Structure 1
């Protein structure tokens, strides 16, 4: 894909529009995360049944990713973001409308499919803007996702004081999300397709497969925070609804702060040591949250996990977008497909372990996967540093 010639002002406008898209995506994911206990209670589910419903979201995402490159090539990131963003927000608003389990499964499948297409579309545009700006910007875009998650979770923690019902919160979040998505879509770039972009996604091989493996490991940990952090604080630490929501908020705040400084870090630290440090810090933070009983320790631990994971996805998506012979949308979709396999398998695995033991034991998987991510960094990125790392290679 390429875009038309742009003035600096037009590029800056498009960049801010894209930041808003990342922000609203994070807020929508946080809204789902805050209401996992609500959904569990509404449908009368155990951890295993809830995990299976979450699996539907991953299946929807994976199916959508097989066509992401083709769809984005045909309609452009701007059009895809507008349509899928609206559908994603609508799916969130309807989470507790059905009274039957199959309704939840279908809604989560819609949420996963539209959310993944929206994600690839805005990341494809992010790589184009980063390329045209000539400097690292990807971490800053993803920081807005984390900031949106923090705001969404923080707002959820205020519900008892606002006196709102869960459904009122979902309707408000949906309305605000749709307004931002449509407004920001108008200011996004118009990117035209090139002939090579029309091929459907194939299974990633070589460099993309290795990068995708790291993405899977990081997204398992990140997905666990989205889906289980609030429930962990409520069930395992006996926290009230407000404190439980702050578990997700602390994770998102730390991730946002790490990403706002991430472009500066990426310009000075090579991908391999950055990945190693990220995995070790995430493992340490999760260990604190699981092993130290006070609720405050859980909030601190989740914050360290967020800081540790903050630059994993920006580094990997930026690398995937620069693999020779592969368009940015296809590179990101290929890595995302492997990453979503991890995100798809991770939360249900944690839920099934929790069903037969405890959520604390289930979330210990995050420690294990974060350590593997640190150990696998050299193999996945070491041989590709000079080709895809950009300025971060000069350390």
Structure 2
């Protein structure tokens, strides 16, 4: 079995996985990681679910080999330190301790109560787009403000201070920046949220962050870490899905028409867009705690395993005709929100935002189209979350 020399990020087609990955045969591939250590790349759907389900694979950063050179720690720092409260990179029982405090705030019942307000936010941004007129950058005019406004209201982050977290988040996930620059941006973001936690302690409001502060179960550093994680994940990922998904729909007008005209399609369209685009193109990453058999091979204790979601979500054994976009497909088992105990905490919020936003956008502007040729839309392949940096549109 040929060993992969690296994990490629550049996509020859903006909506397709890198060609070298699509040409792989089989679900599991040996790979030389960026620091020279041997490890594995998972491209099979069944195998990916198995890894995400198996507690013998650790979710912490400690000991993980970097699948790309941009994630190699600075010299003298063998392992990146996990900030308190950053439970996305923790195993149980620490992971569950944080998650149980938050799960109720992102339940289906809570999302149903939020739906009218989310629709109001969406309609407000569409009204502003209509007022300003064409052309527009759909990222700045719609895809970024909608989830940012929603997560700010949910957490209690003043939206007027958005430049303090949107810019720093963008810098922190941009792999064109050095790891020191990304670390500095992350530290700046955490500094802002540490300050905000202090303000909530002095004057609690009716929001999630205030509730966590007054609950007394988390100290200041833990609150800062939780707030950083929720704010970053709550706007960065959904914003990229909204903009990249809109880009794809504008390039597939027959699919856009289904989303626009059939109210029953929105839910399946969200799952299909998540499957087809797979904006997480670096990871999830796991480290084997013990020897684990997988796909006829043995993952040795200490070895790193990287899941390649853009290929996993195109596995023909799970999704027939996987390279065809079909917004009516029942793709609810796609792994864009991960799987198992570490599946995305805010997945129901993200689903709701997208389910409401795509049809509303296409109905409000039925002649919406790209303002530049598709090949001129600027992509962000050098970011941990894939997407577009701008989406020029007109109508």
> TM-score under structure 1 normalisation?
0.31
Whose helix proportion is higher, 1 or 2? 1
Whose strand proportion is higher, 1 or 2? 2
> TM-score under structure 2 normalisation?
0.31
Q: Which has the larger radius of gyration?
A: 2
